Amino acid sequence: MKKLFFVIMLSTLAIGQTKAQDVFNQVVSNAKLVLEDPKSDPFLINISQFKFTALQYLCTTAIKQNGGSVAADMLDRQAYSLNHFITSYFSELAKAQKASDSTKKDIMKRYWKATAENPMFENQDAEITESFINDPGCITPFSINTDWEKADKAITAKK
């Protein structure tokens, strides 16, 4: 768990030093590197799969809804917020490692609720948007149809 926390923190620092227009591409690129490396840790693969899928969904859906274009700064803000949200989630779980199962479930519910209550698009296709929620082996049980800025702010406000 300490190894994972260290890797996530390094990922966050690397994004913090990236130019604003490159955040989205950097998060997607980092996720792809993990996914394509056969030596990657399964835990990191699971996180990277979620980030990659959520950001691809975000970009594709935004382009469809906006007639073929999407503002780069919107994608960057969403990617940064997604990365912060995920880092915050695993940081809280790591701090609660010795806590009761009930406490850990409460943390999971709070983060899940933040994604469910802050959709980005009016997409009713739950099979796609809730695929990570419905996967019992998934460690990131969140909707990919999320306004990550709003979800991250909701979590930050409750701390």
Question: What is the tens place of the pLDDT at every residue in 27-81?
Answer: 999 999 999 999 999 999 999 999 999 999 999 999 998 888 889 899 999 999 9
Tokens encoding 131: 């695929």
pLDDT at 159: 65
The residue type found at 131 is S
What is the sign of the dihedral through the CA atoms of 84, 93, 37 and 54?
negative
Give how many domains the chain has, as a whole number: 1
Q: Which residue has the higher pLDDT, 49 or 1?
A: 49
pLDDT at 128: 85
Against a cut of 0.75, is the pTM above it? Answer: yes
In this predicted structure, the answer to whether residue 96 has a pLDDT above a threshold of 50 is yes
pLDDT at 33: 97
Domain that holds residue 42: 2-158
| Residues ≥6 apart with Cβ < 8 Å to 15 | 23, 26, 27, 79, 80, 83
* DSSP one-letter code for 22: G
Question: What is the tens place of the pLDDT at every residue in 112-149?
Answer: 999 999 999 987 688 888 889 888 888 999 999 999 99
The residue type found at 130 is E
Determine whether 121 is exposed, middle or buried from the number of CB atoms within 10 Å of its CB (0-12, 13-18, 19+): middle
